[in-house]
Amino acid sequence: MDGLRNIVRQELVARQLEEQIAARYPVGQRLRVLDVGMGQGTQALRLARAGHAVTGIESDAVMLDAAREALAGEPDGIRERVRLVEGDGRDTGVHFLPGSFDVVLCHGVLMYAAEPDAMLAGLARMLAPGGLLSLLVRNGDALAMRSGLAGDWAGARTAFTSDTYTNRLGLTVRADRLDALTATLEGINAPLHTWYGVRVFTDGAAEDAALPADEEMRQLLAAEDRAGRTDPYRRVAALLHLCGVRRA
């Protein structure tokens, strides 16, 4: 989880999320955050360090243990701000009341959901009016990019007309298209406010790719950050980060 691709993903999403939170809420306001499918807790811990109260929900026991281990290494004040729940994104209505959170994160989860629209509707109900819904999904409009850049021409041709792909874990999962998700967000009363591309240039990096030196890494992240905000580059990013806002 500390490879180049994941570090680029986490850093870009954190920057984008911080930007959206800063634009919507007064400095210093303690927000109630729900992180659905929190994984090892990277974003949850960053938000807790920033002073927010974070609830992380995760169904994978290995990831939940990793999150607990990471949390155990934090100071008492930060640990007190984080609550970990075993479950998945379909169970939010079981654990929480509607309107319980100011920010809901759902990063890298929708590709595994059998009924993504129903899950998204449930997540939107968790938001207070004006709350922020942050989604990170595989970009269905750019599925051919990885295969094409790797010289896998048969795979690229198939990807043009497919909504699924085989990820690096060997699992066949689903991708989402910007137009379809925009319509879904409108339908669940959390219309799209803004969106970014994530990993325009580094998606093809090997799993064991070494991290560049500090200055090169800074420049890499600056280029990825700029591309993720700029057309046409963001439209061919491997991932899309969509931010919807719950109507009052």
DSSP string, 139-197: BGGGTHHHHHHTT-HHHHHHHTT-SEEE-TTS-EEE-B-HHHHHHHHHHTT--EEEEEE
Q: What is the mean pLDDT of residues 65-70?
A: 95
Strand bridging mode 164-166 / 172-174: antiparallel
Q: What is the mean pLDDT of the chain?
A: 95
Sign, CA dihedral 179-181-182-183, equals positive
Helices (H) and strands (E) counted in the chain, each on its own, are 10, 9
Mean pLDDT of 133-150: 96
Closest by CA position to 209, among listed 200, 217, 218, 197: 217
The average pLDDT across 199-221 equals: 93
Report residue 64's pLDDT band, with 50, 70 and 90 as the boundaries: very high
Residue 132 pLDDT > 90, yes or no? Answer: yes
Neighbours of 70 (CB within 10 A): 15
Q: DSSP state, 210?
A: P
pLDDT higher than threshold 90 for residue 90: no
31 contact partners, CB below 8 Å, separation of at least 6: 21, 25, 47, 52, 53, 102, 103
pLDDT of residue 236: 97
Nearest to 85 by CA among 105, 67, 107, 109: 67
Label residue 79 by pLDDT band (50, 70, 90).
very high
The rounded distance, in Å, linking the Cα atoms of 239 and 244 is: 16
Residue 1 has pLDDT above 70, yes or no: no
Whether pLDDT at 41 is above 90: yes
* Proportion of the chain above pLDDT 70, given as a percent: 100
Q: Which of these, 70, 103, 93, 44, lies nearest to 243 by C-alpha position?
A: 103
Instruction: Quickly tell me which residue has 């994530």 as its tokens.
Output: 198
Residue 6: which H helix or E strand, with range?
helix 4-24
Backbone φ and ψ for 124, nearest 5 degrees, come out as -60, -35
Residue 211 is predicted with a pLDDT of: 92
**Segment among 117-131, 136-150, 200-214 with least mean pLDDT:** 200-214
State phi, psi for 13 to the nearest 5 degrees. -60, -40
Name the more confident of 222 and 87.
222
Structure tokens at 238: 């491997």
Summarised one tens digit per residue, pLDDT across range 121-131 is 999 999 999 99
Which value, in Å, is the radius of gyration of the alpha carbons in the chain?
A: 18
Give the DSSP H or E segment for 21: helix 4-24
pLDDT score recorded for residue 166 = 86
pLDDT level of residue 83 (50, 70, 90 thresholds):
very high
